[in-house]
Amino acid sequence: MGLIDGKVAIVTGSGAGLGQSYAQALAREGASVVVNDFSPEAAEGTVRGIVDAGGKAVANVADVGSIEGGESLLKSALDAFGRVDILVNNAGILRDASLVKMEESQWDAVMHVHVKALYAATKPVFTWMKENGSGGVIVNTTSTAGIRGNFGQSNYSAAKCGAIGFTNSLAIEGKKFGIRAWNIAPAAATALTAHMPDEYKKVFHIDRVAPTLLYMVSDLSGEQTGKTLMAGGGWVGECRFEVTDGFVPGEDLSAHDIAKAAEEGQIFFPDRPAKWVTAYGPQSE
């Protein structure tokens, strides 16, 4: 018996890489899967692999950054399987450049796939879950670049930080309807990390992220929602934004008072190494 027998899952950008790994893992655990990709060949290839292994899957070829594409995801799920229980917003691209060299087209392309797609793909699925009273789980993809930033990725970092805010709001809106929302921040060797050394690619194999996704979308995670899990290389940990105890000024306040409080450690967190289990440092995917 699988973890998610009888469930129906949609995975965007699942023609290859992490999305394909997610789709295969979901199918192995009993879900019927809608495999979305912009490439018909890639989507069909993932579907064939799932079906050949005894699973259930159908292809959806659409640009999930458009309203029409997002609506087609839901239609594919309902037409093939009659319902939807899980949505994994995984589709992504990179258009790296330092800010002074970044073209408007590079900024817009990343926002289209990483931000507009959150709205376009999630709205119809969330609406169906709410109106049918069936609940569900939505997993959005963030990144260490959205949490810590990364050189040459101001577009990608902005988009991935935006995913966290989107998910936090979605978790609040969905709670009374039994709709849970998560962020996953994967570190994995994919086409987006082709420049990394072979040792990284071995440790951070894409299939070492999927177990975390399965935990998030299954009953194993109970009623947890609105949280971000970093996952990769066999390591899993929660990431969250926190606020210091802060400085409470007297009736009069000056910039000098703030500077003094900062020197005394009342405003900023202490500097400390990033919590990430790799010698390669924080990764953007």
**What distance in Å separates the CA atoms of residue 70 and residue 124, rounded to the nearest whole number?**
7
The two tokens of residue 275 are: 């919590």
Cα dihedral 78, 39, 110, 240 sign: positive
State the Rg of the chain over Cα. 20
**What distance in Å separates the CA atoms of residue 210 and residue 3, rounded to the nearest whole number?**
13
Cβ atoms of residues 112 and 66 within 8 Å:
no
Q: Which amino acid is located at 194 in the chain?
A: A
Torsion of the alpha carbons at 87, 144, 198 and 23, rounded to the nearest 10? 0
The two tokens of residue 210 are: 């999927």
Three state DSSP letters for 16-82: CHHHHHHHHHHHHCCCEEEEEECCHHHHHHHHHHHHHCCCEEEEEECCCCCHHHHHHHHHHHHHHHC
Active site amino acids: 156
Cβ atoms of residues 179 and 138 within 8 Å:
yes
Q: In what order do the strands lie in the sheet with 227-232?
A: 56-61, 32-37, 8-11, 86-89, 136-141, 179-186, 227-232, 235-239
